[in-house]
Chain A
Amino acid sequence: MRYINAICACLLGLLISTSVLAASPSEAQQPLLLELTEVKLNKALPVLQQLETTEGADMLALFKTMLNGDLYYEKETRRLIAALKEQSVTRYSDLFSGEVLSDLSKKQVRKIKVNNKLRGYLGEAIARMQLNHPDSAVRKDAVRSLFSDLGSNTITLIRDARLKEQSRSVQEAMDVALALYRARHAEEATDRLQAIKDLEGSLEPEVRNQLTQLAENDPSRSVRKAAQTGLDKIDQQAEMYGFINQLFFGLSLGSVLLLAAIGLAITFGVMGVINMAHGEMIMLGAYTTYVVQLMLPNMIEYSLWIAVPLAFMVSGLAGILIERLVIRHLHGRPLETLLATFGISLILQQMVRTVFSPLNRQVATPDWMSGSIEINPLLSLTLNRLYIVAFALLVFMILLIVLKKTSLGLNVRAVSQNRDMAKAMGIRTDRVDAMTFGLGSGIAGIAGVALSQLTNVGPNLGQAYIIDSFMVVVFGGVGNLWGTLVAAFTLGVANKFIEPVTGAVLASILVLVFIILFIQKRPKGLFPQKGRAAE
């Protein structure tokens, strides 16, 4: 059933064309359609079921429109219409003829409600209708979404479709469906045994459930045994994929930590400013994403590409401003920077509260970032996380190059180690400071763009990440970018491996205790600065 979403997504595009093609409903269907507009929500299911089986026009368009919550009817004529929502305007068209009804206003129509139960049914019904869809991927998803509900008429449909089926992968899915059915319903133990054999290699949860049932309840001992063997095999696989999954979770948490911390690794790690406003720089980046989407509502798909450079600029400029106005006056007094930047963070928080309201803001996820790629039924990687891992690494690499290969990097380090001497060597320390702080803040802004895809965009966003960020930088070793990288991933992975055992709360506590104890072993973090000067 979880494939329904995917189906819906790919159907959306086809929606208009199919509705244009639909023939007008038959005699037998007319009264049912009328009833659909009148019936109470909890009585609608039988009507739909009848509509599915009654001869006449194809009900696919109707079902799809309804599933999407776009099915309306004209109050007067009781004619069914489909709504097409485009940003703020809604256009209506006749469901069957496809004729656009431009003079219809919101007042004249009423929505046909759906609830979860109906949605569930609609999804299945659509899947049944789509067993013959031209696209093999759709067919495959349709079959798989029917696994959990293999009634006899569904099975007949699948059996028929199997005969015509050309695509290898769809055939396999259909075979699994048929075997599932046999495993459940076959009278003869040998048939069930054969079915179990056919199911071998499939990782579908439905298969596992079926095997569990057989292993526990089947009257025949050999069937029970075979089912158990199959089950063990699946469990073995599940364990492995579970491990991979956890690793992925850990890495993705790590990359979030990395993104959040990496700007701080510059402002704090390299420049030595205890930057309590770092979280707010992240927040500014996230709000930039929000504003970009607000300004360009039609370009959600590209919004992030616009937001990344913009957020870098917004946060970077804010950083430069802060440096020029405040930090500059605090050279040689690193602890005071804590106080001042804390003040700044309060001001920035309240500022977004005033400008954007204290409520969270809505940031949409572009389609290319939503959903997941399914590697097999046991392992799927969510796309947004995948992108964020890649993005975090990319940002890290760029930063590394900037600091290692440009003169800025050298100058920053020289200034932070001995300001007076750097001046005497002709380094324009003011500019270096401003640029570095701007760079660190800008990177934080970029992190904000990424985080806007995962969590709240609100005034508290920064606060949520500031402590973690400091923890990561310190754990990795102040002033060492690689340390920050390793620390972020270590903490992420550790957290995700502890969490299933202890629960989320205890996992965080244990990770903290681990950090505290670790620092006793290595008082300067994972990658300490070595040598005489570091003392």
Chain B
Amino acid sequence: MISIKNVNQFYGGTQILWDLNLDIKPGSCTCIMGRNGVGKTTLLKCIMGLLPVSSGEILLQGEPLQKKKAEYRAPAGIGYVPQGRDIFPLLTVEENLKVGLPVRKDGAKEIPEKIFELFPVLKEMLQRRGGDLSGGQQQQLAIGRALVLEPKVLILDEPNEGIQPNIVKQIGDVILKLNKEEGLTVILIEQKLGFARRVGEEFRLMERGRVVASDRMDNLSEELIRQYLAV
């Protein structure tokens, strides 16, 4: 679905991603894991076109993405839930959701009911400003917002950060449901092993801007965890 070949990326003079290679299978749910600051978020931003890559290729279903500007990547089928959620703070919940409507292929004018089925809180909060919501509510809104786009790939950057346990579970269910029942490809950055194990099929471990291990989730060994996740 998405394949990344030899991507290098710099912040100013500092190289963050080093010849990074990554392959995401269609319909899979892949967890990217690694310590703080290894470049996970950076990688996602590169996929979204929010950061320029200095060399390498990013392919979506075999088509090169890096020529496309960021605003054409959502229509190409990528939904993005950023770290820190990045809700439009002064738009109401409803408006936050509506932003993505024009991208949909079906030209819907209203927010699909499905979103509210997945996250009932959003329905209650419809007229409140996004910025006023609590962290957890914002997270749900961010996922909902990405789903409005009807993406082929859903990218989530630490979606459980600061979410109450039962919602974490609910989000897990939602991801599983989307992935398993609707065949949505999911890329997930997750620090919590438990959650990763529950929803992920595949894992990728990152270290200093490189993917250092990739396999099926079942094969994530204590060895690897100690090597790449422990401090």
Binding site for B on A (CB under 8 A): 407, 410-411, 413-414, 417-418, 420-430, 479, 529-534
Identify 25 residue pairs between A and B in the complex whose beta-carbon atoms are under 8 Å apart, listed by A's number: A407-B102, A410-B99, A413-B88, A413-B90, A413-B95, A417-B90, A420-B70, A421-B88, A423-B49, A424-B48, A424-B70, A424-B80, A424-B82, A425-B100, A426-B71, A426-B74, A426-B75, A426-B103, A428-B71, A529-B90, A531-B131, A532-B89, A532-B131, A532-B132, A533-B89
- Collect the chain A residues with CB atoms within 8 Å of residue B90's CB: 413, 417, 479, 529, 531, 533-534
> How far is the CB of A61 from the nearest CB of chain B, in Å?
69
Complex CA distance for A295 and B23, rounded to whole angstroms: 66
Complex CA distance for A531 and B92, rounded to whole angstroms: 11
> How far is the CB of A410 from the nearest CB of chain B, in Å?
6
Which A residue sits closest to B45, measured CB to CB?
A: A420
**B73 near A: Cβ within 8 Å?**
yes
With A423-B49, A424-B82, A426-B75 given, name 14 new contacts (CB 8 A).
A413-B90, A413-B95, A414-B91, A418-B86, A418-B89, A421-B82, A423-B48, A424-B73, A424-B74, A426-B71, A426-B73, A426-B74, A427-B71, A531-B89
- Collect the chain B residues with CB atoms within 8 Å of residue A429's CB: 71
**B50 near A: Cβ within 8 Å?**
yes
Which of these, A425, A529, A533, contacts B99 with CB under 8 Å? A425
**B208 near A: Cβ within 8 Å?**
no
- Collect the chain B residues with CB atoms within 8 Å of residue A430's CB: 71
> How far is the CB of A332 from the nearest CB of chain B, in Å?
13
**B72 near A: Cβ within 8 Å?**
yes
Given A531-B132, A533-B90, A533-B129, are A424 and B50 neighbors across the interface (CB < 8 Å)?
A: yes
- Collect the chain B residues with CB atoms within 8 Å of residue A424's CB: 48, 50, 70, 73-74, 80, 82
- Collect the chain A residues with CB atoms within 8 Å of residue B102's CB: 407, 426
Complex CA distance for A56 and B82, rounded to whole angstroms: 97
Q: Determine whether the beta carbon of B50 is less than 8 Å from that of A531.
A: no
Report, nearest first, the 5 A-B pairs whose CB atoms are least far apart. Answer: A533-B131, A533-B89, A426-B74, A423-B70, A426-B103
Q: Determine whether the beta carbon of A423 is less than 8 Å from that of B71.
A: yes
- Collect the chain A residues with CB atoms within 8 Å of residue B88's CB: 413-414, 417-418, 421-422
Which B residue sits closest to A407, measured CB to CB?
A: B102
> How far is the CB of A421 from the nearest CB of chain B, in Å?
4
Complex CA distance for A422 and B50, rounded to whole angstroms: 11
Which A residue sits closest to B148, measured CB to CB?
A: A425
Complex CA distance for A428 and B145, rounded to whole angstroms: 17
- Collect the chain B residues with CB atoms within 8 Å of residue A411's CB: 99
Q: Determine whether the beta carbon of A531 is less than 8 Å from that of B74.
A: no
> How far is the CB of A217 from the nearest CB of chain B, in Å?
70
**B46 near A: Cβ within 8 Å?**
no
> How far is the CB of B40 from the nearest CB of chain A, in Å?
16
Which of these, A410, A423, A427, A534, contacts B95 with CB under 8 Å? A410
Q: Determine whether the beta carbon of A426 is less than 8 Å from that of B149.
A: yes
Complex CA distance for A420 and B74, rounded to whole angstroms: 12
Q: Determine whether the beta carbon of B72 is less than 8 Å from that of A426.
A: yes
Q: Determine whether the beta carbon of B149 is less than 8 Å from that of A425.
A: yes
**B98 near A: Cβ within 8 Å?**
yes
Which of these, A407, A421, A479, A530, contacts B86 with CB under 8 Å? A421
How does the 8 Å CB contact mask read for B97-125 relative to A, with 1 for contact and 0 for none? 01111110000000000000000000000
> How far is the CB of A227 from the nearest CB of chain B, in Å?
65
How does the 8 Å CB contact mask read for B169-194 relative to A, with 1 for contact and 0 for none? 00000000000000000000000000
Which A residue sits closest to B101, measured CB to CB?
A: A407
Which B residue sits closest to A420, measured CB to CB?
A: B50
**B130 near A: Cβ within 8 Å?**
yes
Complex CA distance for A423 and B45, rounded to whole angstroms: 11
Which A residue sits closest to B155, measured CB to CB?
A: A424
Complex CA distance for A354 and B128, rounded to whole angstroms: 52
Complex CA distance for A479 and B90, rounded to whole angstroms: 10
- Collect the chain B residues with CB atoms within 8 Å of residue A414's CB: 88, 91, 95, 99
Complex CA distance for A430 and B49, rounded to whole angstroms: 15
Complex CA distance for A226 and B53, rounded to whole angstroms: 94
